[in-house]
Amino acid sequence: MTALFARALLLCGSLACAAWLAGELGPVRDELAALELTRPAGRRASAADLDRANRLLAQAAASTRSREPDLRRAELLVFARRDAPAVRVLVGIVRAEPANAEAWGALARAAAGSDPALAARARARFRALSPSVPTAR
């Protein structure tokens, strides 16, 4: 009887883990689908492709605590020359993760045309967070 109870408990734990993992894979799938839309084979990504990728990345960001989908979404918005929404996304990231050097670098690029002061602050923060690279000999 004890062995049966242990097996049932193990089965319940395994099912709970499987359900949790399945839930965590959704945002990853959305992010990968969005990235595929941005580089279709043999042609340039259309405006519709970029809009769909933006929606998929927003959906992925809403489904996870990771800032990775938001960062990719901001990069996509910069690529699509939609700097103002990209800056809003990136400001949210750097507020939540002030040590995120990649987000600070992206913010510096996104704000360069519309807010030079913000871009300068972002560049300075990026430099402060980035490790120095030794020069080649």
Q: What is the pLDDT of residues 23-72, one digit of tens each?
A: 666 666 766 666 676 666 666 767 777 778 778 878 877 777 778 888 88
**Is 125 in contact with 104 (CB distance < 8 Å)?**
yes
The number of beta carbons lying within 10 Å of the beta carbon of residue 20 is 10
Q: What is the pLDDT of residue 29?
A: 72
Q: What is the pLDDT of residue 41?
A: 61
Ramachandran region, residue 16 (left: φ > 0; alpha: ψ -120 to 50; beta: rest): alpha
User: Whole-prediction pTM value?
Assistant: 0.68
Token pair of 80 as six digits: 């699509």
The number of beta carbons lying within 10 Å of the beta carbon of residue 30 is 22
Helix (H) or strand (E) holding 121, with range, is: helix 116-129
Task: Name the least confident of 54-58, 77-81, 86-90.
Answer: 54-58
Q: How many residues does the chain have?
A: 137
Does residue 6 surpass a pLDDT of 70?
yes
Q: 50: closest CA among 68, 27, 72? A: 72
